[in-house]
Amino acid sequence: MKIQKRHVLMASLVLALGAAVYLNWQFTGNSDMLSVDASKKLGEAQYVNGDITDETQEAGIFDSIFGGDDDKSTESAEETTEGEDTTAVKAELTEEQISYFSTVRTDREQTQSKVLEDAKEVLSLSENSEEAKEEAAESVSQLEKLILAQSNIENLLKAKGFTDVVCFISDEGCNVVVASQNMDDNSSLLVKDAVMSQLDMGSEQIKIIQI
């Protein structure tokens, strides 16, 4: 998706999320980033709510992955989880993995909190234009949706047996970090199913990173 919005706050949001993804890359190490391709099993990428219209694309740079809905509720996520017997391989994390998940989750939360604070500061300043306030309000709304989707995806996967998981969402895709011990032939399908239950995102936009 081409980013056509020129809003400063939205750009800063993307940069902040990009920084979080970079932290992910740096902590895991390039040699350990294994992208699991499940597209053959899932078939061609399909959007949850059908094709994205031009109007949706104009609404905001993250609208395509949220499908224009207010949110993909936990209830709908639970419907995806229930009725399926497939679970991840049970495993205990190493000390290094525990440290990684804790550190990268904290860094992600701090990054996103800073963006929210900056946007809310714009909203609170009376001297800012209405246009700037509208852009700030949009930034807050989009990031709150993103944080909810992250939480839903991670909770879904933990319910499926993944010992720990952390995901990074941008307008271009979703990186999901899992412990390598949890992975088998079916695990990649579980991850992609969880992501696509929350986001209007194709299979090829989802990368699974094993640590």
Domain residue spans in the chain? 8-210
The domain 8-210 is placed in CATH, from the list 1.10.287.4300, 2.40.10.480, 2.60.40.10, 2.60.260.20, at: 1.10.287.4300
pLDDT in tens, 46-55: 223 333 233 3
What SS3 string covers 49-73? CCCCCHHHHHHCCCHHHHCCCCCCC
Considering only 95-104, 112-121, 157-166, which range has the smallest mean pLDDT?
Answer: 112-121
| Partners of residue 177 on adjacent β-strands | 166, 209
pLDDT in tens, 119-138: 788 778 777 788 888 888 88
Dist. CA 169–CA 147, nearest whole Å: 9
pLDDT in tens, 28-81: 444 343 333 333 323 322 223 333 233 333 334 455 566 655 445 444 444 444
Dist. CA 35–CA 179, nearest whole Å: 13
pTM of the model: 0.67
